[in-house]
A and B are shown apart, each in its own frame.
Chain A
């Protein structure tokens, strides 16, 4: 039983990171019909940008700021202007394929220009344990969980309580009508790309100390976020959050109780069951827009 609690906390911590990535994924889908197959690599890259800044002599805090800004520039602005904008009018599929190519390109670039080996990455949460109600819980898990929750709450407030958030939602729901009532649709779409880049940079900062910085680490992460987004509901931000937490917990429990060999199969089986019986996801609404 006590073991279960540990697993739950660790699962929620990884799940919170998955949720950050999944939220960005659904935001891109909602506002611009972009299925980003490079989302995992988007999480992999910022850690290397931060490491590169640190190698150049910047202190850790400065490296984090630089890494996040560079990520927003490259993975937000440049991604949208150079790849998504020219391709969007051709439909969903060519763009999805182009992001697959982008994923290969990013992996190879990091492997060539940085390192093929896994590099250690400093944690922003100090190592150590705290005792809560007689249970020893790692500070890292708690820190990750707290930060991820803060970001998710902040994002939800932004989307639901501010004018910009409402404009973004209007853009996502019906761009034509949004444009008619005076929402700057183009700027809102750009904003979602910047938010996505910010979220993946943050996720990178939180998860890399746990799994090390490696060029191929995006594969697993991207798939987890992908599954989280679909399980929770492809067209709902809160769905993606719930999906992320659920996948994190399920993954950790599966590793302990099913088998280490088939732990990866459990979220996939969950995905197939969800698509068969509730294709709009646990919290999603049925999709009306035909793609």
Chain B
């Protein structure tokens, strides 16, 4: 084996190699001006799954970054064409496995648009409650992961996971599963939450503000967190809109665009809540927007739990077996915790969809990863990726 076999890939592009000289480079000043290619991932704890970034460095600064993914690809959309409409519902849990409830809702909404079904009022309230709990869960986890990426090892993540487990307990007692809930149905929800469950959700909501206070006291004004995150990975509002960035990332860049307000789906118009916006579009703003969104989620939860009406949980006319929507197409989208999650369905009148497309928010949000990282160090690229909030189950589909 020659020494050149041991060199990292990309080293054969060096000027020496091009000149036909020996590929073993001496360690001296000739390195100046050379670019170094580093492959981060696919097995790297900071990549939140199986994700790879091919980073080209000039000294310590990133001059090029190419994301590589697809390691978790199972052609989810093809699977969706092979099963019935309802059969895809459990698969949607596996997209963004932190927020299965909102995935379910987005899919149910798209099918309801396609078939023109009506959802009873109680089910709409339950959906809002579950979506906001999911938002709390997702943003809490994100804050924990982000601090872990900053190098704050252990404590913030464990605090976050302690709270997450309480929400997962609620999901488990309602749907039977912690993470793969498979709870929504076309025209309603699968199980009616009992009054005990609603009381437990109320108790969790009442206590969540105190947890956020504690968490923020640790992190929001923390000097190290501010030094690491402020001014890092800035995203301009015009690029964010043009690149289809959605969710908290878009709002951290100062664009007032929340589908709960814009599309006013479900019963969201009945609730009072504000849309937090950032000023600078950096990692700190993305963290801050999510924390403020959690406070608004608590307010929505209080209103929804206080005003939930009694009544049926499913549309009595809804048909689960032998469900065949008429030919046509529909695109339905909701504001998931990570951004706009949409489903595009084409029906040809058969029991299976002719085309089943998932518009995954983290997939589209990754488009501008290179723009965010240019000029920063590798250590910053780690927290920038953390602030984008990706889940590879959804990126790779």
Partners in one complex: no
Chain A contacts to B: CB under 8 angstroms: none
Interface residue ranges, B against A (CB under 8 Å): none
